[in-house]
Amino acid sequence: MCAAAWLPAWNIALAATAPDTNHAPGRSTYRAPYAAVQPNIDGIADDPAWDQAEWRELKHRWLGPDYSPDDFQGRYKVVWSGSRLYLLAEIVDDVLIDTHRDPLQQYWDDDCLEIFLDEDFSGGNHQYNHNAFAYHFSLDNRAIDIGTDETARDYTAHVESNWKQTGNKLIWEVAIDVYTDAYVDDADDNIPANLAPGKVLGLMVAYCDNDGSELRENFIGSEFVPGKQRDRGWIDAGVFGRLILTDSSE
Ligand SMILES: [Ca+2]
Ligand SMILES: [Ca+2]
Ligand SMILES: [Ca+2]
Ligand SMILES: [Ca+2]
């Protein structure tokens, strides 16, 4: 007999509504529709799949002073297909900077689109493990994160990335193979997770804006992060939002 059978009814009800202690309160929810036709990752946002998804703003200032609409504006939308998430970002940034030409050096202090991904919405620490990933998409379309050996690594093999300037906006499209916490650095048999409607992942999106300073000037993200250390998404998957995959735009 399972232990639950001995629990009084009120206790079972309590368990069903137990607070999510693995995440900070106030996480957002985003519903990503299935893409019947996968977007072409070319920096042109004319793919029909994007019409199905809703915009979400990058509006939470984690680091740096107030900024103007000319300095930075950002929003994104997400769809999915197979084992990939597809993300369209629309960014206004007055100065594009890639000062550190070595992709593994101070990559967060160059302009970059940062996509935080937790395959099973577990929350928890992910600084030196693959409980979650924090892909830093550079202007040269690489994706960098820290490996289990505690050093920066190039995970560009997990992604496709392409952006184009249209008017005063960067139209940035990326596709990401979703890997679980079983991912092993340098192994040649890592298999991306199979995605399905109803699956819940952790997702957070941010932009590191540098317009000529030694260090990035602003770090602006999609989730409200409570407390003093608002830039802690690269360590703590508990501040990511909830991404729910749906089978349509409903
Ligand atoms: Ca496209
Ligand atoms: Ca700027
Ligand atoms: Ca996880
Ligand atoms: Ca910039």
**Which CATH number do you get for residue 78?**
2.60.40.1190
Ligand that comes closest to the CA of residue 38? 1
Ligand that comes closest to the CA of residue 179? 3
Q: How far apart are CA 33 and CA 197, in angstroms?
A: 9
Ligand 3 centre distance from Cα of residue 238 (Å): 10
String of b and e for 90-99 (b: at least 16 CB within 10 Å)?
bbbbeeebee
Domain span at 89: 22-246
Q: How far apart are CA 233 and CA 109, in angstroms?
A: 16
* CA atoms within a 13 Å half-sphere pointing along the CA-CB vector of 244: 11
- In the numeric block, the tokens 């900024």 are attached to 67
Mean pLDDT value across residues 204-208:
98
Report if residue 17 sits inside a domain. Answer: no
pLDDT of residue 19: 79
pLDDT digits (tens, 9 = 90+) for 98-129: 999 899 999 999 999 999 999 999 999 999 99
Q: How far apart are CA 31 and CA 78, in angstroms?
A: 8
Mean pLDDT value across residues 144-163:
98
Ligand 4 centre distance from Cα of residue 219 (Å): 11
Ligand 2 centre distance from Cα of residue 51 (Å): 28
Mean pLDDT value across residues 26-42:
98
Report if residue 47 sits inside a domain. Answer: yes
Report if residue 188 sits inside a domain. Answer: yes
Confidence band, pLDDT 50/70/90 cuts, at residue 3: very low
Q: How far apart are CA 72 and CA 55, in angstroms?
A: 16
pLDDT of residue 242: 98
pLDDT of residue 112: 97
Tell me the pLDDT of the chain averaged across its residues: 93
pLDDT of residue 171: 98
Does residue 164 contact residue 171 with C-beta atoms inside 8 Å?
Answer: yes
Ligand 4 centre distance from Cα of residue 94 (Å): 6
Does residue 242 contact residue 27 with C-beta atoms inside 8 Å?
Answer: yes
Q: Write out the two tokens for 117.
A: 């991904």
Q: How far apart are CA 211 and CA 234, in angstroms?
A: 22
Residue 249 has pLDDT above 70, yes or no: no
pLDDT digits (tens, 9 = 90+) for 39-73: 999 999 999 999 999 999 999 999 999 999 999 99
How many other C-beta atoms can be found within 10 angstroms of the C-beta atom of residue 186?
Answer: 9
Residue from 114, 73, 66 nearest 92 by CA = 73
Report if residue 114 sits inside a domain. Answer: yes
Report if residue 101 sits inside a domain. Answer: yes
pLDDT of residue 15: 52
Give the environment of ion ligand 4: residues with CB less than 5 A: 93, 95, 111, 209, 211
Single-letter amino acid code for the residue at 102: D
Ligand 3 centre distance from Cα of residue 95 (Å): 35
When divided into structural domains, the chain yields a total of 1
Report if residue 8 sits inside a domain. Answer: no
Q: How far apart are CA 118 and CA 132, in angstroms?
A: 4
Report if residue 124 sits inside a domain. Answer: yes
Does residue 90 contact residue 105 with C-beta atoms inside 8 Å?
Answer: no
What's the predicted TM-score (pTM) here?
A: 0.92
pLDDT digits (tens, 9 = 90+) for 124-149: 999 999 999 999 999 999 999 999 99
Ligand that comes closest to the CA of residue 161? 1
Residue 178 has pLDDT above 70, yes or no: yes
Ligand 4 centre distance from Cα of residue 70 (Å): 10
pLDDT exceeding 70 applies to what percent of the chain? 92
Bridge-partner residues for 101, per DSSP?
Answer: none
How many other C-beta atoms can be found within 10 angstroms of the C-beta atom of residue 43?
Answer: 17
pLDDT digits (tens, 9 = 90+) for 228-243: 999 999 999 999 999 9
Residue 2 has pLDDT above 80, yes or no: no
Report if residue 16 sits inside a domain. Answer: no
